[in-house]
């Protein structure tokens, strides 16, 4: 029982760190302007911290989520909302891994591509959708 509570706590902590990283990326994008030019190192450090936090959070989601799924549902999906939640998590994980893999080459090229802002919005919406689906899946 203590292990179950620990898993659930870690799952919610992943949500806390994931949200911070996702909102951080969005706020960084919204704050983009001429003032960035004076502090590219600072902006890049924030980008790095956010993407690594997102990677840690998504890893923690999977580890604790699979364990909870096995524990509570013995790998039987509790319904459509849960199945949809997992499909969206796969998409979100692909985005987080892609951004982390590409970041070093973007940094060498002088910054991330323009389409990354759309990617950050999609990732934030996927995260929100996952929380909504968890609400419906688990009541
Ligand atoms: C972006 C990724 C994810 C988000 C935002 C998310 C969100 C949540 C939330 C808000 C809850 C409710 C927590 C509570 O009842 O206190 C939850 C529960 C749960 N999640 Fe996730 N989750 C994610 C990834 C995963 C993954 C990858 C799995 C499994 C492969 C998973 C399996 C579960 C299970 C089984 C529960 C129910 C635990 C219980 O019965 O109390 N989640 N999730």
Domains in the chain, number: 1
Q: How confident is the model at residue 37 (pLDDT cuts 50, 70, 90)?
A: low
CB of 39 sitting under 6 A from ligand 1? no
Question: What's phi and psi for 121, nearest 5 deg?
Answer: -65, -45
CB of 130 sitting under 6 A from ligand 1? yes
The model carries a pTM of 0.93
Q: How far is CA 128 from CA 82, 85, 121, in A?
A: 14, 11, 11
The span from the CA of 126 to the CA of 108, in Å, is: 29
**3-class secondary-structure state, position 1:** coil
Probe target for ligand 1 pocket from 67, 134, 135, 139, with the most ligand atoms within 8 Å of CB: 134
Neighbour-count burial of 62, counting CB atoms closer than 10 A to its CB (0-12 exposed, 13-18 middle, 19+ buried): middle
pLDDT at 109 over 90: no
- Domain carrying residue 29: 2-138
Pick the more confident residue, 11 or 39. 11
**3-class secondary-structure state, position 112:** coil
Ligand 1 atom at minimum distance from 126 CA = 1
For the chain, first and last CA: distance in Å?
20
pLDDT at 36 over 60: no
The span from the CA of 33 to the CA of 114, in Å, is: 14
Probe target for ligand 1 pocket from 13, 62, 68, 96, with the most ligand atoms within 8 Å of CB: 68
Mean pLDDT of 79-95: 97
For the record, the structure tokens of 136 come out as 């419906």
CB of 72 sitting under 6 A from ligand 1? yes
Centroid of ligand 1 to alpha carbon of 65 (angstroms): 6
- Measure CA 62 to chain center: 11
Helices (H) and strands (E) in the chain, counts: 4, 0
């Amino acid at each position: 029982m203590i292990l179950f509570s620990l898993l659930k706590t870690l799952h919610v902590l992943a949500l806390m760190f994931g949200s911070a990283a996702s909102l951080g990326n969005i706020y960084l994008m919204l704050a983009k302007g001429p003032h960035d030019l004076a502090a590219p190192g600072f902006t890049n450090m924030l980008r790095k911290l956010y993407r690594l936090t997102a990677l840690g959070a998504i890893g923690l989601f999977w580890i604790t989520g699979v364990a909870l799924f096995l524990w509570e549902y013995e790998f039987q999906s509790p319904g459509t909302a849960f199945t949809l939640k997992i499909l969206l998590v796969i998409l979100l994980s692909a985005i987080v891994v892609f951004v982390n893999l590409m970041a070093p080459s973007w940094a060498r090229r002088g910054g991330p591509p323009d389409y990354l802002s759309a990617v950050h919005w999609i990732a934030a919406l996927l995260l929100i959708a996952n929380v909504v689906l968890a609400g419906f899946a688990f009541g």
